[in-house]
Amino acid sequence: MLKFIPLLFFYYFEYSCIFAKNILMIKVGIFFGGRSREREISFAGGRTVYDNLDKSIFEAIPVFVDSLGQFIMLDWQYIYKGTIRDFYPPAKYADASNLHYQLYIESLAQQNVNILHEIANSVGKKIMPHEFAMYMDVAFLTLHGPYGEDGNIQGILEWYGIPYTGCGILPSAIGIDKVIQKSILTQAGFSVPDYLVIHRNEWNATHAHSIFAQVQSIVGTNIVVKAPHQGSSIGVSVLQNPDIQTFIDAVNKSLFIKVINSYIWKSYSNDEKTTFIRDLTDIRTGIGMPVMVQDSILHTPADLIQYLDANSDILDEIILQNTEGEDAVLVEQFIQGEEFSCIIIQDASGKPLCLPPTQIIKPDALFDYKSKYLPGISRKITPIDLPLPFIYRICEQAEKLYTILQCNVYARIDGFFAQNGNIYLNDPNTTSGMLPSSFFFHQAAEIGLNPSQILTYIIHTSLAERTKSGKEIFKISKLYHDLEALLKNNVTSQPKKRVGVIMGGYSTERHISVESGRNIFEKLASSTKYEPIPIFLTGNANNYDLYKIPVNIMLKDNADDIRDKILTHNTVEIHPVIAQIRDRAYTITEIYSKNTIYTPQKIELSQLKNECDMVFIALHGRPGEDGDIQSKLDAISMPYNGSGVQSSSTTIDKYITNEILLKNGISVAKHMLVLQNTWGSDTIVEIEKYLGYPLIAKPHDEGCSSAVKKIKNREQLIAFATMMFRDEVGFPEQESQILNVSKKDEFPQKVCFLVEELIASNGAAHFLEVTGGMLIDGDNFEVFEPSEALAVGEVLTLEEKFLAGEGQNITPARFSKNSEIQKNISTQVKNTLKNTAQILGVQGYCRIDAFVRIFENNTCETIIIEVNSLPGMTPATCIFHQAAINQYKPYEFIDRLLQISDHNHRHI
């Protein structure tokens, strides 16, 4: 009997503490960034968690982990930068010779400790692990790869008594190593493809042919070459009947080795060298920095270029190796079949529950970085399109592996359903991606949990699991019961404003619109002020419909998936697998989600007045930015964000916008509208005489860089016109090859398009591309500091604008190193942006893209490119980090837009 006394006292003490005082919010330290090559996705995932934590229960503490392993309590405004390199290390710490490249902190690792400490404190407050308990109650882990989901950070947190989310040390250590997994899977009776491990110390040019022959005899001719400790398809190649050189290149890629032919290097121009080194040092697709060459370590791209220039006349080839390269390479048989991903969570009784497996439809054999994270490139089908018995087998095997690896809280297990009926599981991830469109949120929505709710589930369940570790169990149990009390009492007394978030559409910008709409929804859903209602628009220019959609449909991968689900919902019964999993998940959803709906409902515009108090238009292009939907909302007296009918219908058309601005003294590019009904040799000659080559060709009423091309000759101009004026939706093969348009790209069909001069420096001392946002409340214009946009290629791509970790934007733009001159030029540029918005009658907010020429006398010319009356509102878009300089968090910025729209509506 005595052994029960401490336990009874413990529970009496715990519950008396809970009810004896008001429980404060729980402080959640969000660990993101990290040392691995997946740090940009981790950074974006941490931002998602930071934004979506329930603000009535949790206080979010952003803990940025840099690539040297330093822990920094990040100043909140940096969370909304597009990439880590946009703010860290700050540009002033980079040598002038590296200005062509954005560096990671490891390139400055040779600096002394004081400098590194100073750099860390320039973006927040550097903290040590023994200080964690001063700032947080629990750690939410969004770190990926080595040092993040391999047990390293988990061990540090356990040492210092901080409970953390997700799996413990053991499953994390196993989950990171693809080679060890093969042995475990084999011993446990799972199907495993034939495989071979190549160790670094046995890999060289002499042995490559014999190893290749061994691979072919054991694994076959269709193979996958993998870096064993990487995720996000980094260091992975899919090879079908490769020759020896292709195989060598793939193994080197997985080992993060690059062999440079000196003759080819010497043949490059300076621009080609810059591009080559930028690709080479990319941590996702290249080998990254620092690199070892012979006995030297080169830390920066400038060091590398200098070394290659100095040694290319001495050596025939130069071998570079990343200092964090892999020790081995895994080569395995390519599985022909359906690829899938399963999220496994823990139910209330502690048993694993496989959420509906998602099938991955991708354009190529490899589900690569771009396909994983850019909306619209791949498609997700949930559940996987297989007969029921096979889906149940996938779920059973995923749950079995979860149990064998001793996972807890949640994990993601990927695999293939082969043509012979075998199920091959691989790559268990103990930290799933946390981007808004990730598998985790996508599958959780199928049981009725929105992102905010599933994050609460993770924290709650993680605390329960950490109490089983035998470490700090009294403290963690107290925290667990505190959270339970907060969940029970989490009732908002004030009624929330209902905001209809309209997203989707039918333009080439529809996928980005969904990303914008989801981001708006999620920011509002975790607030205490608003109740967002997701509304999807689909159809065509002649007729479109609106649907109120449940969260499980809103979180489908892209606009086309959402449209298909809506249009078939009346003809397709709920899938038995989803119905069964929802039943099994009832003990979870009854705690975290109330009044869940799963069926889309068609609504007329006239019904919006009953459903919503106001509307947030998250559409891009037509309709949305053309005044059409605004006129319909005006007719029912519904407040909405952004510009009214007249300004929207003007700014959607780049040709009309240019003409108006030109007449009002604003600099724009020389331009010309090309019409299908007058297209021919005369038009071509006219364009060549007026603009010459190179020139820019683009749709006159689309955004998001859709079909924007630098045209260098007549052949490309004709190909562009053929593509734009085509009758079929598909791309003509010859023309798409000439323009380097892939099947992944969007290229609209139009009856006209715009051609413009290629804007160049024209003798300016400094020349750059910028994008500037602003808030407009009546006559009050709050113009933000513009961002400098760095295009890797000839024009800014869709990925660079909206994909987390892709775009390179520096905010504020670097107009001058002299602070006074910087301020003066920034003022000149912002005045031009303001005048542009005033001339066009923009309301609410906008984003304006431009080029800036800065002359020796410190005057400048700002050339306007386009005006977006409904700027992209994706998590990575630069308008949020511009607003952050003016002390607006993204939610506060959105709240301000809604206040302005409500105010403007009341005064119409």
Q: Label each residue of 481-543 as H, E or C.
A: HHHHHHHHCCCCCCCCEEEEEEEECCCCCHHHHHHHHHHHHHHHHCCCCEEEEEEEEEECCCC
Q: Tens digits of per-residue pLDDT, 884-895?
A: 899 999 999 999
Mean pLDDT over each residue of the chain, to the nearest integer: 89
Please tell me the pTM assigned to this model.
0.81
- Asked whether 745 and 738 are in contact (CB, 8 A), the reply is no
Judged against a pLDDT cut of 70, whether residue 681 lies above it is answered with: yes
Measured between alpha carbons, how far apart are the two ends of the chain, in Å?
76
- Asked whether 307 and 289 are in contact (CB, 8 A), the reply is no
Tell me, what amino acid is at 637? S
**What is residue 155's predicted lDDT score, i.e. its pLDDT?**
95
Least confident of 573-587, 626-640, 791-805, 876-890: 791-805
Tell me, what amino acid is at 181? Q
Cis preceding linkage at 875, omega within 30: no
Give the H or E element holding residue 802.
helix 798-802
Structure token pair of residue 291 = 């690199």
Judged against a pLDDT cut of 70, whether residue 586 lies above it is answered with: yes
Q: Tens digits of per-residue pLDDT, 404-460?
A: 999 999 999 999 999 899 999 988 888 888 887 788 998 999 998 989 999 999 999
Judged against a pLDDT cut of 60, whether residue 785 lies above it is answered with: yes
Residue with tokens 């589900």: 367
Instruction: Provide φ and ψ at 107, rounded to 5°.
Output: -70, -15
Better-predicted residue by pLDDT, 95 or 897? 897
Torsion 411-415-417-421 (CA) sign: negative
**Those residues with Cβ within 8 angstroms of residue 806's Cβ, 6 or more apart along the chain or in another chain:** 82, 83, 374, 797, 799, 800, 876
Judged against a pLDDT cut of 80, whether residue 2 lies above it is answered with: no
618: DSSP letter: -
Tell me, what amino acid is at 204? N
Helix (H, G, I), strand (E, B) or coil at 655: helix
Structure token pair of residue 610 = 């009953």
Size of the chain in residues: 908
Rounded Cα distance, 111 and 106, in Å:
10
Q: What is the 3-state secondary structure (H, E, C) of 858-896?
A: CCEEEEEEEEECCCCCCCCCHHHHHHHHCCCCHHHHHHH
pLDDT interval class at 378 (50, 70, 90): low
- Asked whether 514 and 51 are in contact (CB, 8 A), the reply is no
Judged against a pLDDT cut of 50, whether residue 9 lies above it is answered with: no
Q: Closest by alpha carbon to 534, among 627, 457, 455, 451?
A: 451
Q: Find residue 58's DSSP bridge partners.
A: 26
Judged against a pLDDT cut of 50, whether residue 11 lies above it is answered with: no
- Asked whether 666 and 864 are in contact (CB, 8 A), the reply is yes
Structure token pair of residue 638 = 């519904």
Helix (H, G, I), strand (E, B) or coil at 49: helix
Distance of CA 257 to the CA centre of its chain: 27
Q: Tens digits of per-residue pLDDT, 688-746?
A: 999 999 999 999 988 666 789 999 999 999 999 999 999 998 999 999 999 998 877 88
Question: What's the rounded mean pLDDT across residues 345-370?
Answer: 78
Q: Find residue 135's DSSP bridge partners.
A: none
Rounded Cα distance, 369 and 361, in Å:
14
**Those residues with Cβ within 8 angstroms of residue 713's Cβ, 6 or more apart along the chain or in another chain:** 693
Quick count: other Cβ atoms within 10 Å of Cβ 415?
A: 25
- Asked whether 883 and 831 are in contact (CB, 8 A), the reply is no
Rounded Cα distance, 408 and 166, in Å:
7
pLDDT interval class at 771 (50, 70, 90): very high
Structure token pair of residue 796 = 């800014």
Quick count: other Cβ atoms within 10 Å of Cβ 491?
A: 6
Q: Tens digits of per-residue pLDDT, 508-521?
A: 889 889 999 999 99
Structure token pair of residue 242 = 């490769």
Judged against a pLDDT cut of 80, whether residue 12 lies above it is answered with: no
Q: Tens digits of per-residue pLDDT, 484-530?
A: 888 887 655 568 899 999 999 998 889 889 999 999 998 998 888 99
Question: What's the rounded mean pLDDT across residues 878-906?
Answer: 89
Rounded Cα distance, 841 and 656, in Å:
14
Q: Find residue 180's DSSP bridge partners.
A: none
Judged against a pLDDT cut of 70, whether residue 23 lies above it is answered with: no
**What is residue 271's predicted lDDT score, i.e. its pLDDT?**
86
Judged against a pLDDT cut of 50, whether residue 4 lies above it is answered with: no
**What is residue 285's predicted lDDT score, i.e. its pLDDT?**
85
Q: Closest by alpha carbon to 162, among 30, 333, 72?
A: 30
pLDDT interval class at 231 (50, 70, 90): confident
Residue with tokens 């090859």: 737
Angle at the Cα of 802 from the Cα atoms of 796 and 808, rounded to 5 degrees: 55
Instruction: Provide φ and ψ at 337, rounded to 5°.
Output: 170, -160
Better-predicted residue by pLDDT, 217 or 206? 217
- Asked whether 156 and 132 are in contact (CB, 8 A), the reply is no
**What is residue 18's predicted lDDT score, i.e. its pLDDT?**
42
**What is residue 532's predicted lDDT score, i.e. its pLDDT?**
94
Which DSSP string corresponds to 762-780? Answer: TT-SEEEEEEEEEEEETTE
Q: Find residue 410's DSSP bridge partners.
A: 345
Rounded Cα distance, 124 and 468, in Å:
34
- Asked whether 80 and 890 are in contact (CB, 8 A), the reply is yes
Cis preceding linkage at 357, omega within 30: no
Q: Closest by alpha carbon to 228, among 255, 205, 202, 259?
A: 255
**What is residue 292's predicted lDDT score, i.e. its pLDDT?**
94
Q: Tens digits of per-residue pLDDT, 797-845?
A: 445 444 444 456 788 999 998 999 999 999 999 999 999 999 999 999 9
The backbone region for 893, taken as left when phi is positive above 0, alpha when psi lies in -120 to 50, beta otherwise, is alpha
Tell me, what amino acid is at 328? A
Structure token pair of residue 533 = 């209602």
Q: Find residue 769's DSSP bridge partners.
A: 851
- Asked whether 722 and 684 are in contact (CB, 8 A), the reply is no
Residue with tokens 């990343």: 322
Beta pairing class for 766-777 and 787-790? antiparallel
**What is residue 877's predicted lDDT score, i.e. its pLDDT?**
85
Structure token pair of residue 262 = 């000196």
Q: Closest by alpha carbon to 345, among 389, 407, 393?
A: 407
Tell me, what amino acid is at 647? S
Structure token pair of residue 517 = 């709409």
- Asked whether 644 and 778 are in contact (CB, 8 A), the reply is no
**Longest CA span, the chain:** 101
